[in-house]
Amino acid sequence: MQMSYGVWQPGAFGLGVHRAALFGVLLAAVQAAGTEVRTGVEVAGFDGLAQPTLTDTAGRAHGPFDIVVVADGSASSLRAKLRPRARAPVYPWGAVWANARDADGRFAGALSQRYDRASMMIGVLPIGRGPDGADNLVSLFWSLPVADMETFYTGDFAAWRARAAAAWPEIEPLLAGFEGPHAFSRAVYRDVAVGRWDAGAFVLIGDAAHGTSPQLGQGANLGLIDAVELAARVQRPTDLASFQRARRLQTGPYQLFSRGLTPLFQSSGRLGPLVRNHLFAPFSQAPGLDRIAASVLTGGFRLGATPPELRP
């Protein structure tokens, strides 16, 4: 399959961003706004749903607050306390990933992936400049069952590196820069189903509210749009329910698409990859359908009109 953002709108393009660089931009904006930031605080619980006070693991109290935005990811610790019936099972497949320097720019300009059915997947995503100034960085990721992750870290790294290079010889210069499995981080995904995102003055956003597998690469995008719409729509806790109804016009389809796509790209089965190979490639190239597919990949797909605050 070959897909381009330019099919969606002429001149459109995507940007891969080093995660620490994204965090740095957001932190700088928070500091410029004069917002107080408390680090080293792990929230353990809360007292009350209306104007709640938060309690950390050291027993210190924080608050009370008019609204509490819970944005602690797909493995949210507060979600179960707020929504006991919420479900967030771990996907059976995940990935290990690490950043490397692509000195020759071989992988610049596009996300590239290579598959063997759905049981082997290698991906390389250009992510630009890192927070330390290093340029031409890429993120390399390797798909594997969650049950096999420990084996990756304790197994024969040289044998894995040889296997990956044999499957995709062009990545050998990237692999040569990794001294061992400790260079790789784990990525475990959860399929989050919450029901209502709000409870009293609390509201879940981002992966804490609607986490999925990363097949469409929209986790950070949807979380940022959550924050933009939250700021635009919510002035008081009574606005939280209408905020969620509006956001579900976008997050709902992405959750549905991700659940359906995951077995086609990460699984040990044979039927899913056959469907992917014989249907998705023609779909991605067909006039009209290619624009719909590109629209989904931009993160802008939504049921209904885009709110004015999100229009460029």
Neighbours of 14 (CB within 10 A): 19
Least confident of 18-27, 97-106, 183-192, 283-292: 283-292
Mean pLDDT of 280-287: 78
DSSP secondary structure, 262-278, as one string: HHHHSSS-SHHHHHIII
Joined tokens for residue 38: 């408390």
Give the span between the Cα atoms of 261 and 284, in whole angstroms.
Answer: 14
Q: What does the pLDDT look like over 109-148, one tens digit per residue?
A: 899 999 998 889 999 999 998 888 889 999 999 999 999 9
Q: What pLDDT score was predicted for residue 312?
A: 65
Mean pLDDT of 194-206: 95
**Annotated domain spans of the chain:** 5-89+190-310, 93-187
**Nearest Cα to Cα of residue 229 among 238, 239, 214, 219:** 239
Mean confidence (pLDDT) of the chain:
91
Element of type H or E holding 123: strand 120-128
Q: Within the chain, where are the H helices?
A: 19-32, 79-82, 149-154, 157-167, 172-175, 207-210, 219-233, 240-265, 271-275, 281-285, 289-298
- 203 pLDDT higher than 80: yes
The CATH architecture annotation of domain 5-89+190-310 reads: 3-Layer(bba) Sandwich (3.50)
Q: What does the pLDDT look like over 226-240, one tens digit per residue?
A: 999 999 999 999 999
Give the burial class of 152: count Cβ atoms within 10 A of its Cβ; 0-12 exposed, 13-18 middle, 19 or more buried.
middle
Neighbours of 131 (CB within 10 A): 12
Q: What does the pLDDT look like over 12-68, one tens digit per residue?
A: 888 888 888 899 999 999 999 999 999 889 999 999 999 999 999 999 999 999 999
Q: What pLDDT score was predicted for residue 113?
A: 93
**Nearest Cα to Cα of residue 74 among 226, 278, 235, 213:** 213
Mean pLDDT of 273-299: 83
- 90 pLDDT higher than 70: yes
Least confident of 59-68, 195-204, 206-215, 267-276: 267-276
Give the burial class of 140: count Cβ atoms within 10 A of its Cβ; 0-12 exposed, 13-18 middle, 19 or more buried.
buried
Give the span between the Cα atoms of 5 and 14, in whole angstroms.
Answer: 7
Q: What pLDDT score was predicted for residue 269?
A: 82
pTM, two decimals, is: 0.89
Q: What pLDDT score was predicted for residue 293?
A: 84
Give the span between the Cα atoms of 300 and 296, in whole angstroms.
Answer: 6
- 71 pLDDT higher than 80: yes
Q: What pLDDT score was predicted for residue 3?
A: 82
Name, in order, each residue with C-beta under 8 angstroms of 260's C-beta and a sequence gap of 6 or more: none
Percent of the chain clearing pLDDT 90 (strictly above): 67
Least confident of 91-100, 256-265, 271-280: 271-280
HSE (CB half, 13 Å, CA atoms) of 146? 11
pLDDT category at 283 given cuts 50, 70, 90 is confident
Q: What pLDDT score was predicted for residue 18?
A: 87
